[in-house]
Chain A
Amino acid sequence: MPERAVFKTKPGLSAKTVEEISNIKEEPAWMRDFRLKSYQTFVQKQLPSWGGDLSKINFDNIVYFIRAIKDRAKSWENLPKEIRETYEKIGIPEAEKKFLAGVSSQYDSEVVYESVRQELQKQGVIFCDTDSAVKKYPAIVKKYFGKLIPPNDNKFAALNSAVWSGGSFVYVPKGVKVSLPLQAYFRINAKNFGQFERTLIIAEEGSSVHYVEGCTAPIYSTDSLHAAVVEIFVKKGARVRYTTVQNWSKNVYNLVTKRAKAEENAIMEWIDCNLGSQLTMKYPSVYLSGKGARGEVLSIALAGKEQHQDAGAKMIHLAPDTSSRIISKSISKDGGRTSYRGLVYVAPGAKNSSVYVSCDALIMDEKSRSDTYPYMKVIQKDTRVQHEATVEKLGEEKLFYLTSRGIKKEEAEGILVNGFIEPVAKEIPFEYSIELNRLINLEMSGSVG
């Protein structure tokens, strides 16, 4: 596939490549230095010894930066057939389809979204890609960037810190409530897509915002590594909800670090739906650092043939009266594997805190597998802890019940799986939950409707 790229680094990573990336972006010195230090950390850090199998990632084969002109000159017809078919079955509009598939990097959205942008501007909300933010709002970016997830957090955070491109920057001023989810814009803005995107959200005191990333159509990437970093600061009394519905193509390693800090009486909610990829390792976390802060992670993971979804959540209770809730629903089929990996830590002094963890696994057949690794470290004594875990095999009896009503077996499986994830799926914006529902039926039966 020919690519009309303006600039493209050589495969593999070196300090020189990192510098090159920074130069072509015309970044300030502090960001260049940050990248270079992060690169050193990346080199020194070992791969995690737990989770999924990462041994096949060849860091020397990856192109870490591409700047393309208008389009990448791929054509729709060149895409793998199953990807094209999925798009058609889900019913994504033609223009969006091409963009999502990476065929076109621009989508004529200026007119449609102009009114939304104007509305945001009036409220003082900043919403742009992170590259632009570094230049336009250096003071804010510098204050928060890499502060919650430092490069030395893990090897992939270090890698992202060294080579990041794109991602979203959101700043919501004090008391401002953003009524529309920030989503449509994201769906069609090319700069936000990438292998190493970096997202930073700051919600000032008493503000609220809902950010939605992704889509249910498979995001086709010839590159096999996606390592993003998302940092969210939720100030006193603010509320942020971050919804992800992602379906990476099945060659991708999806290794994402997501973390939020919730201050006094703040609320942080992660809603995380992971489909696709060959291996996902993702554990959205909330540092409950202020009194009365609340954190939630609701997640869905679906692992099919040759896929491993190692997903979960982290809740770190650092202040009194904090509460957290983790609800995880995972489905494995056709030999797929799901793992729930969770960490709940209640620090001394986090009095009167409450923890709720519920992880349910649904296993569709004998070949598939599910594991649960729920770590809990509760040091403060008066903590209320509730933990529930279920593993369910998709019962032949339930399938027989549905088929005896005249429903086809494949459709019956879809009904049962959608029923299983319903408590989480209902939290997702409507248009996404419909797509998710269709996609699950598609995964079950190979056909929609």
Chain B
Amino acid sequence: MLILKNLSAKINNKDILRDISFTFEEGKVYALMGPNGSGKSTLAFSVMGHPSYSFPEKSKIIFDGKNITRLKPERRAKLGIFLSFQSPLALSGVNVFQLLRYASQKKIDPLSLKEKLEDYSRKLKVAKELLERPLNEGFSGGERKKMEILQAAILNPRLAFFDEIDTGVDVDALKTIALFLNDLKKGGKTFVLITHYNRILKHIKPDAVLVMKEGRLVRVGDGKLVDKIEKEGYEKI
């Protein structure tokens, strides 16, 4: 469903991604791993349409057969792509409900949106008062991650990148998040989990593991690759 063709990306004239080609298939779960600074977040940003990156002519991002390389982020979101941010910023004066009202283009009526939000919050063990506070203002790391997942659940994308959804999250919260994501995945969604650890992958089994190093996709394997990385690190890959 998502094809990356010779994807290279630059920011301020610095090469971040180098010639990545890969096809993500519908309904599968991918783990995207690699050392810090290997370009994992940039890959997710590129697919979502971050305006700071530039791509050479031959780089292509194709979603559902459509070339989206030059599409604005809001158009990509409409097509069903979602990105859960590694470090979501705080938004003063806007709570998650208001944000989702705008994001859903007021297509969901406010009452059902509220009900859905509250329902998902219960499942995610998010305190109700967080829904009414300005988004992420004074929220803990774990709370911020849960807010990202809440948005994913409401916006119901077909392809979702979760950038380090397991970082800064305690053991119990991790389990809650994993259970929720497993539930959300039903119905044929495609997930890309960017992670450093195998602990989340014990709850959500990846169909494939991708390893990036220095902006390149250096290895693609199955679940066993995760254990190997856990034991031996990235040096030998």
Contact of B48 among A404, A408, A415, A418 (CB under 8 A): A404
B74 touches A409 (CB 8 A): yes
8 A Cβ contacts from A414-445 to B:
415-416, 418-423
8 A Cβ contacts from B86-105 to A:
88-89, 91-94, 98-100, 102-105
Contact with B along A197-229 (1 / 0, CB 8 A): 000000000000000000000000000000000
Contact with B along A235-267 (1 / 0, CB 8 A): 000000000000000000000000000000000
B49 at the interface (CB under 8 A from A): yes
8 A Cβ contacts from B42-66 to A:
48-52
B99 touches A402 (CB 8 A): yes
CB B156 to nearest CB in A, in angstroms, measures 11
CB A204 to nearest CB in B, in angstroms, measures 38
Majority-rule SS of A interface residues: helix
B74 touches A403 (CB 8 A): yes
Query: Which residues of A are found within 8 Å of B94, using beta-carbon distances?
Result: 415-416, 418-419
What are 25 of the A-B contact pairs (CB < 8 Å)? A396-B51, A396-B52, A398-B91, A400-B50, A400-B51, A400-B73, A401-B89, A402-B99, A403-B49, A403-B72, A403-B73, A404-B73, A404-B77, A405-B100, A405-B102, A405-B103, A407-B74, A407-B103, A409-B72, A415-B98, A415-B102, A418-B93, A419-B92, A419-B94, A422-B92
A293 to B19, CA, bound (A): 68
Binding site for A on B (CB under 8 A): 48-52, 72-74, 76-78, 82-83, 85, 88-89, 91-94, 98-100, 102-105, 134, 151, 155
Contact of B93 among A396, A405, A411, A420 (CB under 8 A): A420
Contact of B49 among A404, A420, A421 (CB under 8 A): A404
Query: Which residues of B are found within 8 Å of A411, using beta-carbon distances?
Result: 102
A406 at the interface (CB under 8 A from B): yes
A420 to B92, CA, bound (A): 6
CB A435 to nearest CB in B, in angstroms, measures 17
Contact with B along A128-141 (1 / 0, CB 8 A): 00000000000000
B105 touches A406 (CB 8 A): yes
Query: Which residues of A are found within 8 Å of B77, using beta-carbon distances?
Result: 403-406
Query: Which residues of B are found within 8 Å of A404, using beta-carbon distances?
Result: 48-49, 73-74, 76-77, 82-83
CB B14 to nearest CB in A, in angstroms, measures 17
CB B24 to nearest CB in A, in angstroms, measures 18
Query: Which residues of A are found within 8 Å of B99, using beta-carbon distances?
Result: 402, 405, 415
Query: Which residues of B are found within 8 Å of A405, using beta-carbon distances?
Result: 74, 77, 99-100, 102-103, 151, 155
CB B10 to nearest CB in A, in angstroms, measures 16
A319 to B73, CA, bound (A): 57
Given A403-B74, A404-B73, A404-B77: A397 and B102 interface contact (C-beta under 8 Å): no
